[in-house]
Amino acid sequence: MSVRTNSLRARLLALWLMLLASGAATGLLLYGLYGQSTAVQVAEAEVTVTRGCREIIDLIAGRKGRLPEGTPAERAVAVALEKLPGVEGGIWTQAKGPVAYAFPTYEGTGPKTDLPAAERPLIEAVNAEAFHVEHAVTLRRPNRTQVLVLQGCPLRGYATDATAWTMMRAHVAESPSYIRLLAGLGFLAVAVIGSAIFLGRFLIGFSRRIAQLEAALASPLAEAEELPHLSRTGERELDRLVDALNATGSRLRVARERVVAAERLAAVGRLAADLAHEVRNPIAAMRLKAENALANGEPERAETALKAVLGQIARVDALLRDLLNLTQPRSIARSPTPVGPLLAECARYHGEVARARGVSLSVEADALPPHDDPHLDRTQVMRAVENLILNGIQHSPEGGCVRITARRLIRDGTVILSVGVSDSGPGVDPDLHAEIFEPFATARPGGTGLGLAIVREIARAHRGDVRLAPAEPGSGATFLMELPWRPS
32-43 pLDDT tens trace: 655 556 777 788
Instruction: Please tell me the predicted confidence (pLDDT) of residue 222.
Output: 47
433-449 pLDDT tens trace: 777 777 666 655 555 56
Q: Which fold has domain 8-177?
A: Beta-Lactamase (3.30.450)
Query: Where residue 421 falls among pLDDT bands split at 50, 70, 90?
Result: confident
Buried b (16+ CB within 10 A) or exposed e, 131-168: beeeebbbbeeeeeebbbbbbbbbbeebeeebbbbbbb
Over the chain, what is the mean pLDDT? 78
| Edge-first strand listing for the sheet containing 97-102 | 97-102, 87-93, 162-170, 147-154, 137-142
Beta bridge partners of 150: 139, 167
Task: Considering only residues 439 and 157, tell me which one the structure prediction assigns the higher pLDDT.
Answer: 157
Instruction: Please tell me the predicted confidence (pLDDT) of residue 8.
Output: 64
Contact 57, 135 (CB under 8 A): no
Instruction: Please tell me the predicted confidence (pLDDT) of residue 158.
Output: 83
Instruction: Indicate the CATH number of 331-484 among 3.40.50.1980, 3.40.1190.20, 3.40.50.300, 3.30.565.10.
Output: 3.30.565.10
323-349 pLDDT tens trace: 666 555 567 788 999 999 999 999 998
Do the bridges between strand 97-102 and strand 87-93 make them parallel or antiparallel, or are there none, so unpaired? antiparallel
Contact 275, 323 (CB under 8 A): yes
The three-state secondary structure class of 410 is: strand
171-185 pLDDT tens trace: 765 555 556 656 766
456-463: average pLDDT: 87
Domain boundaries, the chain: 8-177, 222-270, 331-484
For residue 471, the tally of other CB atoms under 10 A from its CB is 13
- Tell me how far apart the alpha carbons of residues 155 and 295 are, in angstroms, rounded to a whole number: 163
Instruction: Please tell me the predicted confidence (pLDDT) of residue 137.
Output: 93
Instruction: Please tell me the predicted confidence (pLDDT) of residue 130.
Output: 92
352-368 pLDDT tens trace: 888 988 999 999 988 88
CA nearest 79: which of 64, 93, 69? 64
Q: Taking CA 23 as the corner, what is the angle to CA 201 and CA 178, rounded to the nearest 5 degrees?
A: 125
Contact 441, 391 (CB under 8 A): no
Question: Kind and range of the H or E element at 375?
Answer: strand 375-376
209-223 pLDDT tens trace: 777 777 777 665 544
Do 8-177 and 331-484 share a fold? no
The one-letter amino acid at 322? D
70: phi > 0 → left, psi -120 to 50 → alpha, else beta; which? left
